[in-house]
Amino acid sequence: MLIIRALSYYSGVSGSQGLPGDRNAATGDHQSTGSSNAPRKTVSDTHLSDKSEAWLPEKSGEKGASGPNQPSSEGSELIPDWWLNAIKNLSDSDDTAVMIKALTSVDPLKDIGHAGTSMRFLTAYYCTQPGRTVMTGSPRMKQRPVGPLVDALRILGADIQYIENEGFPPLEINGSADDNIECLSSEIIAEKKAVIFKQKGKDDKQRSEDGNHYDGSGHKGIGHYRPSKNMKGGAVSIDGSISSQFISALLMIGPVLEKGIELHLTGDIVSEAYIRMTLQLMKSCGAVFSREGNVIRVEPGGYGVAEFTVESDWSAASYWYAMALLEDHSRVTLRHLDEDSLQGDSELTNIFHKLGVVSDFTDRGFVLTKLVNLHPGRFEHDFTNTPDLVQAMAVALCLAKIPFRFTGTQTLRIKETDRIAALQQELKKLGYLLESDERGSFLAWDSKHCDPAVKPVIETYHDHRMAMAFAPAALVRGEIRIADPMVVTKSYPDFWEDMETAGFKMTIESISPQ
């Protein structure tokens, strides 16, 4: 088993970090298959130096001369030229690579590995496209439910069949795009940086009258309007308490359905911030919607946008906030974060302010400063809208000896792993006993301890956030060992390099399974 060791010999934390983005930085096993014989990066000897910088992932920012806006020749072969020109600041993470490969490959078999977002979004997308598509993924992906999304898509007219187990991937999709339109999506015209669309039996003038944002040149920008043949759209209901990704997947196909979509959300809505972000991003790309309470109406008409710049990833900032919390007088600068962000995880600024970490936007970047040690008794917070912050927060608060009770955590049971169980198991190795219930509706630590393991190895369960959440433990424990460290490439390929820049010393060790 490959592990990461982090040895912390701290003399003062001050640094500048950037969230994931440089295409040159991604190395190692992008499949995150657990144990491997390939070499891996490591962490040790930690202090966040005055010159350390973190480049946060895209959703993240460009990194130097070979960032996403100026791609290197290495690692960008899957990305068509017109995407690189139309979509600025595109992430180099595994999830982005999986999405691009699926969208640009002519192979009807789409294996998205561990990428749950891609599974949900592409399932809806391929229902609107011509031809047969099979959606599959890793063994863990085949355990993650998609039944509510499939049920809703079927009501809208989709032809979807379960290949193995009812309610779970893999899926067979028989697309329903209009037979009168031929989409040559794999034919890229470099001079025009566009996808060619041809409509049978109509000349350019007639196509211009029929098409949305069509100028007769073959260029429709990023979006186009091709109403589905069988999926007419209309009203459909979905339980909002399971996954906001189901909701986003349905909303995003609304503009290309003949009747649009009227989505009725039932139950307690989780991750509301992600629904709002989806709608605002759709609006910025030309979609029209209205909302009254839990009913969202998306009008037909398609998308149309010349270019789009992707925002940096606030979720990735949580690990640097945790490091700032754990070091007195720390100072960390994060690059490429938007102060007026659509992302719900920008709530980090308010959460950590209660713990003594102050956030300031400056010309140099977004500066985190640990001013005081605040121990608010038991820290309580509802993570319904920000579930991706739970792992970093739970580990950081245990290490800071601050008891806590989190609510709104039920969706963590069906993520890349059961994140509630994973946190309980791995924090127990460090001597902390967490409590929850079967549903995962809360996660709590009431200062209960057990004997820690000797030289514990933190398992990551193919979950990128487990690896990054436990990395700051080096600042408190002196060292931390993390198995399968390259799971971070799923969302933050440069994480370990950024930690080295911040002053952590990385080493590599290979051990035999116990």
Per-residue pLDDT tens digits of the chain, which is 514 residues long: 334 444 433 333 445 555 553 322 222 222 222 233 222 333 333 334 333 344 455 543 333 222 223 333 333 344 556 666 788 888 888 888 899 899 988 999 999 998 889 999 999 999 999 999 999 999 989 999 999 999 999 999 999 999 999 999 999 999 875 544 333 333 332 332 333 233 333 333 333 333 333 333 333 344 444 555 678 899 999 999 888 999 999 999 999 999 999 999 999 888 898 999 999 999 999 999 999 999 999 999 999 877 888 888 999 999 999 999 998 888 899 988 888 898 999 999 999 999 999 999 998 888 999 988 777 789 999 999 899 999 999 999 999 999 999 999 998 987 778 999 999 999 999 999 999 999 999 999 999 999 999 999 999 998 999 999 999 999 999 889 999 999 999 889 999 999 888 888 888 776 554 4
Q: Residue 226: its pLDDT value, please?
A: 52
**Domain boundaries of the chain, sorted by first residue:** 2-25+41-65+312-510, 92-177+227-308
181-189 and 171-174 strand pairing: unpaired
φ, ψ at 211 (rounded to 5°): -85, 160
Give the C-alpha separation, 432 to 448, whole Å.
6
Q: Residue 104: its pLDDT value, please?
A: 87
- 443 touches 427 (CB < 8 A): no
203 class by beta-carbon count within 10 Å (0-12 exposed, 13-18 middle, 19+ buried) = exposed
Among residues 104, 73, 100, 105, which one has the least CA distance to residue 87? 100
Give the C-alpha separation, 75 to 168, whole Å.
32
Q: pTM surpassing 0.75?
A: no
Give the C-alpha separation, 317 to 36, whole Å.
28
Q: Which two tokens stand for residue 470?
A: 């436990």
Give the C-alpha separation, 59 to 315, whole Å.
9
Q: Which two tokens stand for residue 303?
A: 């998308």
Q: Domain 2-25+41-65+312-510 belongs to what architecture?
A: Alpha-beta prism (3.65)
- 175 touches 156 (CB < 8 A): no
Give the C-alpha separation, 124 to 126, whole Å.
6
* Active-site annotation holds for 388: yes
Q: Which two tokens stand for residue 414?
A: 């069906």
Same fold flag, 2-25+41-65+312-510 and 92-177+227-308 = yes
Q: Residue 45: its pLDDT value, please?
A: 32
Q: Which of 388, 418, 494, 498 is catalytic?
A: 388
Cα-trace Rg, the chain: 23
92-177+227-308 falls under which CATH superfamily?
Enolpyruvate transferase domain (3.65.10.10)
Is residue 378 helix, strand or coil?
A: coil
List CB contacts of 203: < 8 A, sequence separation 6 or more.
none
